[in-house]
Amino acid sequence: MNRFLAWLKKIFHKQISTNPIYLDKALNRFLLPTVFIVPLITLYLNFPGDPEIPFNPRTNYTYFNEPISPIPKNLFINTNKAEIGELLFNSNLLSTDEKFSCNTCHTLETGGTIRNYSENSLNPVTVFNAGIFYRSMDVSQENYSSSILVNDIIHFPKEMGDINSNLNNLIKDNKIYNKIKLIYGTNPSIEIINDSLLEFIISLYTPNSKFDKFLRGDKNSLSTGEKEGYLLFKELGCISCHQGVNLGGNLYQTVGITDDYFKDKGEPGDLDQGLYLKTKKEEDKYKFKVPSLRNIAVTYPYLHDGRYKSLKEVVIMMSKYQLGKQISEDDTEKIVSFLNTLTGEYKGQLLK
Ligand code: HEC
Ligand code: HEC
């Protein structure tokens, strides 16, 4: 051992020493502890430590090594604007005949979507976490990510009528009208409506799911079955489409890649046309936005046509038509148990 230390001192002297006495001290105080203790700590921290599940060298379960990152615990929110956005979100005044609000289709109490939607309309996707891409993750500032396109997420569906002519309705609600005057200093305009609605949508983020606690280093936050479900999710390739902080929400993909989903389902209807409805481009037929899987346990029914009520059915469908794999009962259950860990908190309460 002593010979080894002497040798270490010798090479460090050779390489960087100009003042051997000073270096000798430095070596004892800093270099030696670094040489021995740091590797030991690193080894300890990386030790799998979970005897139930075989150690997978590709996933040593630290946040930095995982392809998904947790939802930030805090995002900067301009509360004045978000309050106006919240009032607008819940107000029927923005729609013709005052029949619809955003909350009619994106009911916050039921996961930001609806559970009994009409057969003839698209199944609304949840508004929870739909806005987090739009705010840069720097929690101290009200800055938008550079790719911001408000029209990508703030929409006024045909059920609401012509938004521009409905703007005048807002004068009927003193609270909204006065607050807009106070904060923006002018009368309501479409830009103000978009801006405040967007701020409210950004405020609908849901941190602290069991899965996020796990990503932050709490290895016991997931059971063995849930961890195995997560491994399967990565190994089967679900993650190639359901990716990033929201496990989806950032790309369009064809439904029915490895098998003809719409043929098996029966004659495709209008709503099955997907992105084509908006772009009228032939190659966009049957393409849909890959939905975020955050809070998936509470946002049933699933898919654009609300066809399935249980996650089990969707996992089997996805494996068959998106990945061309037949999945065992056991693996399906593990993936479902993993998906159930993605429910987060809004205002400190787990979504229901
Ligand atoms: C008639 C039902 C309905 C109403 C009313 C409605 N939406 Fe939607 N919303 C949908 C549907 C369906 C989708 C998903 C399909 C699509 O994008 O067309 C959606 C998607 C969204 C998304 C998610 C976008 C994404 O890609 O992640 C946001 C955000 C949203 N709506 C906000 C709003 C706001 C704000 C209002 C009120 C101004 C509103 N919605 C009113 C049905 C509705
Ligand atoms: C090739 C891309 C792709 C792959 C791979 C993929 N998905 Fe999907 N997933 C989608 C698209 C697109 C949709 C939306 C389909 C629709 O609305 O009809 C979707 C929808 C879902 C939904 C329903 C979401 C909702 O809110 O309705 C779940 C759950 C889901 N996928 C889980 C999985 C799982 C689990 C796997 C792996 C076994 C997987 N997906 C693999 C593209 C993919």
CA distance 51 to 215: 18
- In terms of pLDDT, which residue wins out, 56 or 229? 229
Closest-CA residue to 78 (of 146, 139, 155)? 139
Does the Cβ of 193 fall within 6 Å of ligand 1? no
Radius of gyration (C-alpha) of the chain in whole angstroms:
26
Ligand 1 centroid distance, CA of 217 (Å): 34
Residue 163 to residue 157: CA distance in whole angstroms:
9
Q: Read off the pTM.
A: 0.84
Å from CA of 303 to ligand 2 middle: 8
Angle at the Cα of 248 from the Cα atoms of 332 and 223, rounded to 5 degrees: 40
When pLDDT is cut at 50, 70 and 90, the band that residue 143 belongs to is confident
Where residue 62 falls among pLDDT bands split at 50, 70, 90? very low
Contact 63, 211 (CB under 8 A): no
pLDDT digits (tens, 9 = 90+) for 99-135: 999 999 999 999 999 998 777 889 999 999 999 888 8
The confidence score (pLDDT) of residue 33 equals: 56
Q: How confident is the model at residue 42 (pLDDT cuts 50, 70, 90)?
A: low
| Neighbour tally for 342: CB within 10 Å | 22
Between vectors from CA 200 to CA 113 and to CA 244, what angle results, nearest 5°?
A: 70
On the question of pLDDT at 176 being above 80, the answer is yes
Residue 6 has what pLDDT?
64
Q: What is the pLDDT of residues 219-233, one digit of tens each?
A: 899 999 999 999 999
pLDDT band per the 50, 70, 90 thresholds, residue 9: low
Least confident piece of the model among 266-275, 283-292, 314-323: 266-275
Superfamily of the domain at 79-202:
Cytochrome c-like domain (1.10.760.10)
Here the tokens at position 147 are 């790719």
Phi, psi of 287 (to 5 degrees): -95, 135
pLDDT for 166: 94
- The pLDDT assigned to 219 comes to 87
Could you tell me which residue, 139 or 95, shows the higher pLDDT? Answer: 95
Q: What is the pLDDT of residue 97?
A: 93
CA quadruple 249, 301, 352, 209: dihedral positive or negative?
negative
Sequence letter at residue 12: F
**What pLDDT score does 66 carry?**
85
Residue 289 three-state SS: strand
Q: If you ran DSSP here, which 8-state letter would residue 71 be given? A: P
Say yes or no to pLDDT of 51 above 70. no
Q: Which pLDDT does position 13 carry in this prediction?
A: 55
Of 241, 258, 294, 333, which is best to mutate to test ligand 2, by the most ligand atoms within 8 angstroms of its C-beta? 241
Q: What one-character DSSP code corresponds to residue 118?
A: -
Assess whether the C-beta atom of 302 lies below 6 angstroms from ligand 2. yes
> Hey, where are the domains in the chain?
2-46, 79-202, 207-350
H or E stretch covering 252: strand 252-254
Q: Which atom of ligand 2 is nearest to the CA of 253?
A: 12
| Mean pLDDT, residues 70-75 | 91
CB of residue 323 inside a 6 A radius of ligand 2: yes
Rounded to whole angstroms, the Cα distance separating 96 from 279 reads 26
Asked if residue 38 has pLDDT above 60, the reply is no
3-state SS, residue 39: helix
Q: What is the mean pLDDT of the chain?
A: 85
Pick the most confident of 47-51, 141-145, 151-155, 193-197: 193-197
**Beta carbon of 299 within 6 Å of any ligand 2 atom:** yes
253 Cα: distance to centroid of ligand 1 (angstroms)? 19
Best mutation site among 92, 105, 122 for ligand 1 pocket (most ligand atoms within 8 Å of CB): 105
pLDDT number for residue 148? 55
One of 3.20.20.60, 1.10.760.10, 3.30.470.20, 3.40.50.970 is the CATH number of 207-350, namely 1.10.760.10
Which DSSP state fits 70?
P
Binding site membership of 177 for ligand 1 (Cβ less than 6 Å): no
- Rounded CA gap, 155 and 24, in Å? 69
For 123, counting Cβ atoms within 10 Å of its Cβ (0-12 exposed, 13-18 middle, 19+ buried), the class is buried
Say whether 293 sits in a helix, a strand or coil.
coil
248 contacts: CB under 8 Å, gap ≥ 6: 241, 242, 290, 291, 292, 293
Compute the distance between CA of residue 253 and CA of residue 241 in angstroms, rounded to an integer.
8
* Chain segment 289-311, per-residue pLDDT in tens: 999 999 999 999 999 999 999 99
pLDDT computed for residue 267 by the predictor: 82
Please tell me if the domain spanning 79-202 has the same topology as the one spanning 207-350: yes
